[in-house]
Amino acid sequence: MKAVRFLLFVLGITICLQVQAGNPQVEFQTSHGSFVIELYPDKAPKTVDNFLEYVRSGFYEHTLFHRVIERFIVQGGGFSPELKQKPTLPPIPNEANNSLKNEVGTVAMARRFEPDTAAAEFFINLADNKHLNYYRPEPAYMGYCVFGKVIRGMDVVERISHTPTLKVGVLDELPKQHVLIEKVALLDAPLVLSQQDKKAETAAPEKIINPSRKGKKRG
């Protein structure tokens, strides 16, 4: 009996260490439902550290998904419900050259045309947006840094993408009905999903790239 208890104790420690050693995961609770993002600090360490700093400070809470384009992206993390842009930390280096691609369900940093201008805003890809990937070290081809992926709740992200939009000031694709980020938290106990579950989460009904978006400003 003592040997069994000791074995269970060791097993419990091993499982605990495995959880702690896993990639960090962040849950977003929105007015349209919740979803979970897994982050990849091994691929984009500065980007993940920056993102987690905003998460821990509560920066993203009570901000909007202010740019919603069906079959392309949903973007958020920068504007208040009063449509005022929040002040951010200094911009970070572009880590897009990390082998991660802007594919369905991946999360990347929004920025201006200049490569090293990402701060707080992020977007979730709704298609395999190859034209957003890194190609070479020139401003027009530097790409947008992928640093995570939605591993649960992609149906919620899709639901957000179907929200009717309108133009208000500089916001061209603002949802008519606010899509509010209510709470954001780093998970203490990361989700453990099978590869089949992960594939199911990011299986989009249609993987269509809208060509008209290729030349538009991102960020």
2 band by pLDDT with thresholds 50, 70 and 90? low
User: Sign of the CA dihedral 60, 66, 68, 73?
Assistant: negative
Q: Which two tokens stand for residue 156?
A: 């919620």
Residue 56 has pLDDT above 50, yes or no: yes
Q: In the chain, what are the domain boundaries?
A: 23-213
Over residues 174-207, the pLDDT tens digits come to 999 999 999 999 999 988 876 666 566 656 444 3
Over residues 120-139, the pLDDT tens digits come to 999 999 999 999 999 999 99
For 89-125, letters b (16+ CB in 10 Å) and e give eebbebbbebebbbbbbbbbbbbeeebeebbbbbbbb
Distance, in Å, from the CA atom of 64 to the CA atom of 90, rounded to the nearest integer, reads 21
Residue 57 has pLDDT above 90, yes or no: yes
Average pLDDT, the chain: 86
> How far is residue 165 from each of residues 5, 34, 122, 124, 146, measured CA to CA in Å?
59, 21, 19, 17, 25
Top-level class of domain 23-213: mainly beta
